[in-house]
Structure 1
């Protein structure tokens, strides 16, 4: 019997679509690259400009602080949402509903103008002017953190619910208290589900910080806007900002990948040890 050679069918439609896509991208690059209205020599000049670098530092600071605050607040909200107490669960649900349902840009502007209806805080002899407390940096940080906390709460709640209930029962059988079971057994395993979306949210936050430019919070985009307001190199400075955003998100993606790889190994080991211990206890119970 002679063997028959399988010849894959040619999909001319896909090839034509790919060729058209390549042609369109090449045409776009040619139009941009040959444009006489873009001063390409100005882009290297501003890539490492000190003003731009200061904006990058503040963008990273916004991202790190807002993610730390939102992760802590999100964990608390997730536990409240899963609480059997209807008041606690209701508060968490209301918080998540409100902050996910209103635009972040509106929240930034709201916090920046909060002194319009709360001009000061007066407690006895203590007088605190809101203009002193809520400056552009604080307003932006509050808006970013409180908004992101709502998303973190849902991410963490989903991660905790993804852990099999048998893990909790196994922890109880080993004598763990509910708090110990959550911190040592449930939460470490939930991290496998939680970490990827947290990494994605962090990358998204790097770009979302550009919204704080509406209150002149001196992030990367704000610094770029300040420069092109003087020299009118609008497209050039926007390209510089875009390059740095791409660099930061690429680095963040690489860090996320490494964390996911290491976390996956450690949580698999922890789950395996717990299951082995539980099987041993069951075997001893049957023998007893």
Structure 2
């Protein structure tokens, strides 16, 4: 019996081709007016793009954003666990925390930590209990709460409220049957949370955590208001002297895009290395 096989022909993706064509045509039409106009002095952009001042500001931005996000993940996880706790007091406290820090603008929180909190505290000192080891010698709180420290406190506490809800959604996304099975095997609740639930929860919420990290990179620009030398403040100090506002803002936008691209690549690698399922 002779069997004739006919090759399967895939339909031509005319829709995708048309969409790609629109993008290819539209991009030059959008970019060319900016490049060809006399509004931007590209020589000035090139001169400041990799200057020592700007590169240092990029590092300051990355340092503050990374440290704030890392601390927010830890604190947010604790708040998320309190949010789903069987203890009504813990649930209420976590709910109130999230309400306050998500409900007030991050800029307001930055200003409070830099201007109000030092006046409330007055003097600050810190030592290890029952020893003579002094971690922070007694000093005015205003000297301790530098723009970096105030920014770190404000951004961490504000971001932890958002991160708590992200982690809580991941915890609730873990199959309840796995917890029941672990409990049936005699595992304690703490061990179930640490070794089964949180491990899977963080895999589930990894895209959201990466997105929050990117948002934090941009939120560091709010520290401009308290004098922290991040990207926006650094470029503003330059354009206040040479009046090249648009060129220096292009430099800032370039570096924000570079940092966002780097985090996106890192996030993609982590998601492939540790997939949600």
TM range (shorter): 0.7 to 0.9
Deviation by residue 1:31-60 (Cα, 9 ceiling, x = unmatched): 322222321111111111000011011011
Given that residues 121 and 128 in structure 1 are in contact (C-alpha distance below 8 angstroms), is that contact kept between their aligned partners in structure 2? yes
Structure 1 segments (4+ residues) deviating >2 Å: 5-8, 21-31
Deviation by residue 1:107-157 (Cα, 9 ceiling, x = unmatched): 11121111575160479xx96422112121111111111100001110111
Question: Is 1:230 matched with 2:230?
Answer: no
Given that residues 118 and 142 in structure 2 are in contact (C-alpha distance below 8 angstroms), is that contact kept between their aligned partners in structure 1? no
Mapped to 2, the partners of 1:61 and 1:179 lie a distance apart of 33
Deviation by residue 1:169-200 (Cα, 9 ceiling, x = unmatched): 11122221111111111111112212110011
Q: Specify the alignment match of 1:131 in structure 2.
A: 142
Question: Is 1:166 matched with 2:177?
Answer: yes
Given that residues 156 and 194 in structure 1 are in contact (C-alpha distance below 8 angstroms), is that contact kept between their aligned partners in structure 2? yes
Given that residues 39 and 236 in structure 1 are in contact (C-alpha distance below 8 angstroms), is that contact kept between their aligned partners in structure 2? yes
Q: Specify the alignment match of 1:204 in structure 2.
A: 215
What pairs up with 1:1-288 in 2 under 5 angstroms? 26-115=28-117, 117-118=119-120, 120-121=122-123, 128-264=139-275, 268=277
Give the alignment's Cα RMSD to 1 decimal.
2.8
Mapped to 1, the partners of 2:224 and 2:53 lie a distance apart of 15
Mapped to 2, the partners of 1:182 and 1:127 lie a distance apart of 40
Any idea what SS the aligned residue of 1:93 has?
A: helix
Unaligned 5+ runs, structure 2: 1-8, 126-136
Mapped to 2, the partners of 1:190 and 1:100 lie a distance apart of 22
Unaligned 5+ runs, structure 1: 269-288
Q: Specify the alignment match of 2:4 in structure 1.
A: none
Any idea what SS the aligned residue of 1:113 has?
A: helix
Mapped to 2, the partners of 1:122 and 1:47 lie a distance apart of 40
Mapped to 1, the partners of 2:244 and 2:24 lie a distance apart of 30
Given that residues 70 and 146 in structure 1 are in contact (C-alpha distance below 8 angstroms), is that contact kept between their aligned partners in structure 2? yes
More displaced, 89-98 or 134-143?
134-143
Any idea what SS the aligned residue of 1:41 has?
A: helix
Mapped to 1, the partners of 2:99 and 2:242 lie a distance apart of 44
Mapped to 2, the partners of 1:66 and 1:249 lie a distance apart of 16
Given that residues 78 and 154 in structure 1 are in contact (C-alpha distance below 8 angstroms), is that contact kept between their aligned partners in structure 2? yes
Distance change in 2, residues 1:7/1:193 (3 Å): closer
| TM-score (norm: length of structure 1) | 0.81
Given that residues 225 and 237 in structure 1 are in contact (C-alpha distance below 8 angstroms), is that contact kept between their aligned partners in structure 2? yes
Structure 1 residue 232: Cα displacement? 1.1
Q: Give the count of matched residue pairs.
A: 257
